[in-house]
Amino acid sequence: MSDVFCTDCKRQTEVVFDHSAGDTVCSECGLVLESHSIDETSEWRTFANESGDNDPVRVGGPTNPLLTDGGLSTVIARPNGASGEFLSSSLGRWQNRGSNPDRGLIVAFKSIATMSDRLGLVATIKVLHIINLFLVVEVPWRAFLQKSSTTAFAMAAMGPPLNKDRANEIYKRVEDQKSSRGRNQDALLAACLYIACRQEDKPRTVKEICSVANGASKKDIGRAKEYVVKQLGLEKGQSVEMGTIHAGDFMRRFCSNLGMNNQAVKAAQEAVQKSEEFDIRRSPISIAAAVIYIITQLSDDKKPLKDISVATGVAEGTIRNSYKDLHPYVFKIIPNWYAKEEDLKNLSSP
């Protein structure tokens, strides 16, 4: 029991929480202070002598509109210690005989989720989807939503849907065309994730995607990407918008890989943004790597070219050539607060 202000008693009184009804009741006058409360605690207790593989959770994952049954199909679990009896039972036989049309999609979605986690793509949810979900259920959920406006605003600030959700959608659209049979599945899934990152303005380099693609090569992923873009174009009857890549999209991640301080990261981001004003005919990734090289050479914590190449995935020769193209503009792109004119003049010539 705890003390809560009672409107009838006009003072703090002890209250009793009725778990079965979800009511908070004043222990002195019996007034129901709050009804249909949601118990957010777990519905089970875990003891030290219980086995680690005994998961007491009775709910599955969230609904998935990309699956035929929305991801709400029932699977008969195997009882503990009864593996042989389960396989020989009629329920087990019928479940094994039944074919799940979404079995391939489920496996593919799990692979995309694994790659997304390894790339550090954080899951976010649109608050609009949550609101629509709550409004179609019972009245207590509506009351909960009205009382939780702060939570709703917090969820709204979390941002757009996860890249893997877009990747799942892209893969489902390609799979529905029944033309991907015989292709490298790992490369196809990696290509869907690459396109999703581009479309969600969170691009990843092909090398980064390749590092989590279960052995698929850059060449395979490139071919798969062209195939996916072609199939999506045939479906819509128009070219697919991939999104524009900017050097600044990679800058913070590359600087983090090198362990650069905040001042250097800020200077690198400003320099990259100013470099877009000039006609530097290099890829955004190469420009980002060259800018990082310049910024580190102007700081006390100088980074060798080899470390920058490893952190950015750009070859050392490419960084040198990009630095050569950027060198004429260093006085215009490097922020004045970060380096003096004398320091820029002392930069090594390309």
Interval 267-299: pLDDT, tens: 999 999 999 999 888 999 999 999 999 999 998
Which pair of tokens denotes residue 116?
A: 């997304």
Amino acid sitting at position 72:
L
Angle, CA of 334, 336 and 340, to the nearest 5°: 95
Residues 6+ apart with CB under 8 A from 201: 243, 249
- Residue 137 pLDDT: 39
Tokens 């002392």 sit on residue: 346
pLDDT at 162 over 60: no
- Residue 233 pLDDT: 85
- What is the secondary structure of 294-328 as a DSSP string? HHHHTSSS---HHHHHHHHT--HHHHHHHHHHHGG
Q: Is 54 left (phi over 0), alpha (psi -120 to 50) or beta?
A: beta
Nearest C-alpha neighbor of 163 from the set 194, 206, 186: 194
Q: Report which of residues 322 and 150 the model is more confident about.
A: 322
Angle between helices 127-135 and 149-156 (to 10 degrees): 140
- Per DSSP bridges, beta strands 23-26 and 11-18 are antiparallel
Q: Taking a C-beta distance cutoff of 8 angstroms, is the pair 79, 87 a contact? A: no
d(CA 228, CA 219): 14
| Percentage of the chain modeled with pLDDT above 90 | 25
Q: Report which of residues 334 and 129 the model is more confident about.
A: 334
Q: Taking a C-beta distance cutoff of 8 angstroms, is the pair 115, 189 a contact? A: yes
Q: Taking a C-beta distance cutoff of 8 angstroms, is the pair 63, 56 a contact? A: no
Q: What distance lies between CA 339 and its chain's CA centroid?
A: 36
**pTM for the predicted model, two decimal places:** 0.67
pLDDT at 333 over 90: yes
